[in-house]
Amino acid sequence: MYYKSSIELREAIRKEKFKTQTSGQAKGYIQANLVVLPENWAFDFLLFAQRNPKSCSIIEAGSAGEYLTKYIAENADVRTDIPKYRVFKHGELFEERYNLLDIWQDDFVFFLLGCSFSFEHALLEADIEVRHISENVNVPMYNTNILCREAGKFKASPMVVSMRPFIPNNAIKAIEITRDYPSVHGSPIYFGNPKEIGIEDINKPDYGDAVTIRENEVPVFWACGVTPQKAAMVAKPPVMITHVPGYMFVGDIKDKDLKI
Amino acid sequence: MYYKSSIELREAIRKEKFKTQTSGQAKGYIQANLVVLPENWAFDFLLFAQRNPKSCSIIEAGSAGEYLTKYIAENADVRTDIPKYRVFKHGELFEERYNLLDIWQDDFVFFLLGCSFSFEHALLEADIEVRHISENVNVPMYNTNILCREAGKFKASPMVVSMRPFIPNNAIKAIEITRDYPSVHGSPIYFGNPKEIGIEDINKPDYGDAVTIRENEVPVFWACGVTPQKAAMVAKPPVMITHVPGYMFVGDIKDKDLKI
């Protein structure tokens, strides 16, 4: 079932009636990555995001203990309004769960980060085919040899990228379009030979699904909101909570409102 | 004396040989606003900046106790490399001084914020006259009735704006040019009747100097990096240090590198 309204979608998610991926849901509304950390890790993470804005652009963050959003949506509850969560302890995946009600702590700080789903909407509107959407799979994502800037307890960790293949003319258009969306990764960080950025096999993504790359196409790489999950695996905070990739927070702001 | 090199300028500032305004110095290099706060105010300030990016775009911030920059310049010292500092205690101006060596605390966190001097360079390059530069005075700045978004201990406080008058054709060009500089206030927040944003007398700026506005010109307003000083006067942190307006930090990054 496809929801048109972001408010109705979040209500279904909150009631655990909707427990799947959010791709294609509430079209035109922004989807965001979630990161939750204890207060004594929060400044370092905000600094990590500031230093790595292509990967981690904060759309909204709360003060310690706050779980209701103010800006991305009015009073959405980050403890319940995402279809599936991942809990990491000391950098290892501990469990997946459908809400955070039992485990929410007074010192938790939430961060909602920009997601490439927002600029894909703009690409489709410009009649540019987005391969993983055409093939109805998750976007392919890869660890790279590009190091993020460190920030306090977050030491240098690899940037994660998403990939979309285009013919050169569409790659140029995609660069032009996405540069105007700096809060959802902005312009690409690289295109061309995947080995140059440490990707050994383009057909074996580290996250998400492989997609077809045709003879006349070039793979184009954008910084990806999964980067903080990788950073957490390196920094090993006692607890960190994220969404399950693809199971996003859906807000009431429109994608097009993120255009500068 | 005009310095061409940002490194030589900072050296002269550090040795307290250069103690005046930095306007026109090290042309082409970025100038930045300084905010220093104790660690227990730092997260709230970073959140305030994230929620008010037009006024407060962070170019670089440190971890607690750090005073050397890494990105805006290599190993510049924020305790000595600004010509003049202001120390506020509980929201009141306590003193002005030439360095922070005696009063630096291990829990101090520095923030360097984008400054409109960077986009003015781009305006001049496009042959757009910038009035306060032509008249050789400081840019006029005003308190407004536009409230910033609050963040933790930083409650809602008025946005401070800078003003430049243009004929409509140049105002349009200035909007186009500055939108590509989101890290130095980006596009204007308003143009037209000053009373609409709570400015009673355009000829009596709250900070800086008045400039000539001709019959056929419209005043154009940009969010201003003095906004955090106003926010601090409202929030009253026990101690907060800033630069003296116009006495900026000069980095080694070029203005043009801030263009998205």
- Alpha carbons B91 and B97: distance in angstroms, whole number: 17
- Alpha carbons B26 and B73: distance in angstroms, whole number: 13
- With CB atoms and an 8 Å threshold, state whether B58 touches A50: yes
Could you tell me which chain A residue has the CA closest to the CA of B43? A43
Q: Which residues of B108-133 are buried (b: 16+ CB within 10 A; e: fewer)?
A: bbbbbbbbbbbbbbbbeeeebebbbb
Is a pLDDT exceeding 90 seen at residue A83?
A: yes
- DSSP code string of B27-88: TTEEEEEEEEEEHHHHHHHHHHHHH-TTT--EEEE--TT--B-SSSSSS-BTTTSSS-EEEE
Q: Is residue A248 part of a domain?
A: yes
Single out the residue of B165, B65, B186 nearest to residue B114, CA to CA: B186
Select from B47, B119, B178, B184 the residue whose CB has the most chain A CBs within 10 Å, as the one to mutate to test that interface. B47
Single out the residue of A239, A58, A232 nearest to residue A154, CA to CA: A232
Domain co-membership, A145 together with A221: yes
What is the band of A2 on the pLDDT scale with cuts at 50, 70, 90? confident
Pairing status of strand B85-89 against strand A240-243: unpaired
- CA distances A15 to A4, A8, A250, Å, are 17, 11, 15
- With CB atoms and an 8 Å threshold, state whether A46 touches B50: yes
Q: What are residue A77's DSSP bridge partners?
A: A68
Could you tell me which chain A residue has the CA closest to the CA of B178? A260
Q: Is residue A125 part of a domain?
A: yes
Touching B: A residues 24-43, CB under 8 Å: 39, 42-43
Single out the residue of B114, B120, B201, B226 nearest to residue B166, CA to CA: B120
Chain A closest-CA separation from residue B210 CA (Å): 30
- With CB atoms and an 8 Å threshold, state whether B46 touches A44: no
Helix (H), strand (E) at residue B141: strand B141-147
Select from A37, A45, A50, A59 the residue whose CB has the most chain B CBs within 10 Å, as the one to mutate to test that interface. A50
Q: Which two tokens stand for residue A124?
A: 């489709």
- With CB atoms and an 8 Å threshold, state whether B50 touches A58: yes
Q: What are residue A61's DSSP bridge partners?
A: A111
Is a pLDDT exceeding 90 seen at residue A23?
A: no
Q: Is residue A244 part of a domain?
A: yes
For residue B178, give the amino acid letter.
T
Q: Is residue B1 part of a domain?
A: no
Domain co-membership, A54 together with A35: yes
Select from B39, B43, B70 the residue whose CB has the most chain A CBs within 10 Å, as the one to mutate to test that interface. B43
DSSP state of A154: B
- With CB atoms and an 8 Å threshold, state whether B63 touches A47: yes
- Alpha carbons B164 and A140: distance in angstroms, whole number: 47
pLDDT at residue B68 in the model: 98
- Alpha carbons B133 and B126: distance in angstroms, whole number: 15
Contacts of A87 (CB under 8 A, 6+ apart): A93, A94, A95, A96, A97, A103, A239, A240, A241
Inter-residue contact B186 to B116 (CB < 8 Å): no
Neighbour-count burial of A155, counting CB atoms closer than 10 A to its CB (0-12 exposed, 13-18 middle, 19+ buried): middle
Share of chain A above pLDDT 90, in %: 84
DSSP state of A76: -
What value of ipTM does the predicted structure carry? 0.77
For residue B50, give the amino acid letter.
Q
pLDDT at residue A147 in the model: 97
DSSP state of A12: H
Pick from A44, A151, A179: CB nearest B260 = A179
Single out the residue of A163, A155, A209, A153 nearest to residue A185, CA to CA: A163
- Alpha carbons B184 and B30: distance in angstroms, whole number: 10
Domain co-membership, A51 together with A110: yes
What is the band of A39 on the pLDDT scale with cuts at 50, 70, 90? very high
- Alpha carbons B195 and B51: distance in angstroms, whole number: 25
Domain co-membership, A97 together with A132: no
- Alpha carbons A64 and A86: distance in angstroms, whole number: 20
Could you tell me which chain A residue has the CA closest to the CA of B66? A152
- Alpha carbons A144 and A196: distance in angstroms, whole number: 9
Residues of B in contact with A50 (CB under 8 A): 46, 58, 61
Pick from A47, A50, A260: CB nearest B182 = A260
Domain co-membership, A92 together with A168: no
Touching A: B residues 131-160, CB under 8 Å: 149, 151-152
Domain co-membership, B205 together with B236: no
Q: What are residue B223's DSSP bridge partners?
A: B161
What backbone torsions phi and psi does residue A243 show, to the nearest 5 degrees? -75, 160
Per-residue pLDDT 10s for chain B (260 aa) are 789 999 999 999 999 999 988 887 998 999 999 999 999 999 999 999 999 999 999 999 999 999 999 999 999 999 999 999 999 999 999 999 999 999 999 999 999 999 988 899 899 999 999 999 899 888 999 999 999 999 999 999 999 999 999 999 999 999 999 999 988 999 999 999 999 999 999 999 998 899 999 999 999 999 999 999 899 889 999 999 999 988 999 999 999 888 88
Domain co-membership, B198 together with B216: yes
Residues of B in contact with A182 (CB under 8 A): 182, 260
Domain co-membership, A142 together with A195: yes
Give residue A11's domain range: 6-16+30-116+228-258
Whether the CB of B71 is below 8 Å from some CB of chain A: the reply is yes
CATH of the domain at B38: 3.40.1640.10
Domain co-membership, B156 together with B29: no
Pairing status of strand B92-97 against strand B218-223: unpaired
For residue B67, give the amino acid letter.
Y
- DSSP code string of B12-29: HHHTTS--S--TTSSTTE
Domain co-membership, A58 together with A186: no
- With CB atoms and an 8 Å threshold, state whether B149 touches A71: yes
Residues of A in contact with B149 (CB under 8 A): 71
User: pLDDT digits over A201-252, tens only?
Assistant: 999 999 889 999 999 999 999 999 999 989 988 999 999 999 998 899 999 9
- With CB atoms and an 8 Å threshold, state whether B260 touches A58: no
Domain co-membership, B62 together with B148: no
Whether the CB of B223 is below 8 Å from some CB of chain A: the reply is no
The gap between the terminal CA atoms of chain B, to the nearest Å, is: 32
Domain co-membership, B41 together with B163: no
Structurally, chain A folds into a number of domains equal to: 2
- CA distances B169 to A72, B76, B174, B175, Å, are 35, 40, 9, 10
- With CB atoms and an 8 Å threshold, state whether A63 touches B71: no
- With CB atoms and an 8 Å threshold, state whether A46 touches B47: yes
Single out the residue of A138, A131, A86 nearest to residue A115, CA to CA: A138
Q: What are residue B191's DSSP bridge partners?
A: B220
Chain A closest-CA separation from residue B75 CA (Å): 16
Whether the CB of A50 is below 8 Å from some CB of chain B: the reply is yes
Helix (H, G, I), strand (E, B) or coil at A172: helix
Count of A-B CB contacts under 8 Å? 42
Q: Is residue A21 part of a domain?
A: no
CATH of the domain at A148: 3.30.2040.10
Chain B closest-CA separation from residue A113 CA (Å): 12
Distance of alpha carbon B1 from the chain centroid? 23
pLDDT at residue A258 in the model: 87
Residues of A in contact with B58 (CB under 8 A): 50
